[in-house]
Structure 1
């Protein structure tokens, strides 16, 4: 999926969250406006999250930027 470079991007690093980060991710997405994106920083590719994002009307780009570091850029569809 393509990335619009004009979007404002908020970042959420979930690597240091104790426990399940799903709630933090959903809360952050609730605050993202139509012209913004959320960059999720994670230590692995969160493949199970992709179905949830698609069902909730989001599009995403995933990129491994280093060993054990992924950027998943999420925006409203």
Structure 2
């Protein structure tokens, strides 16, 4: 897998739904083709995964610690 070279970080921990999802979707709308978005969130964002697939993004989600999940998102080529 070839991940993009540049990373944009978005920490949405502590925000109440639907704000984290709204912020992620906004950030994805401005994401450059050669960039990836790193989302830091306090729970596994299951609703986000379906939207990413629908919109043609690829991603890797990982639980780092309790209340700390990271999702790397990039555009499919």
- Fold shared per TM-score above 0.5: yes
Return the TM-score normalized by structure 1: 0.86
Give 1:9 shift.
0.7
Aligned residues: 75
CA contact (8 A) 2:39 2:72 kept: yes
The C-alpha deviation readout for 1:13-68, integer Å capped at 9, x for no partner, is 11133442221111101111111000010111111211110110100000111121
- Give the Cα–Cα distance (whole angstroms) in 2 for the partners of residues 47 and 19 of structure 1: 12
Q: Pick which of 13-22 and 40-49 moved more.
A: 13-22
- 5+ long unaligned stretches in structure 2: none
Aligned structure 1 segments of 4 or more residues deviating by more than 2 angstroms: 16-19
Two-structure CA RMSD over aligned residues (Å): 1.5
CA contact (8 A) 2:56 2:75 kept: yes
Return the TM-score normalized by structure 2: 0.86
- 5+ long unaligned stretches in structure 1: none
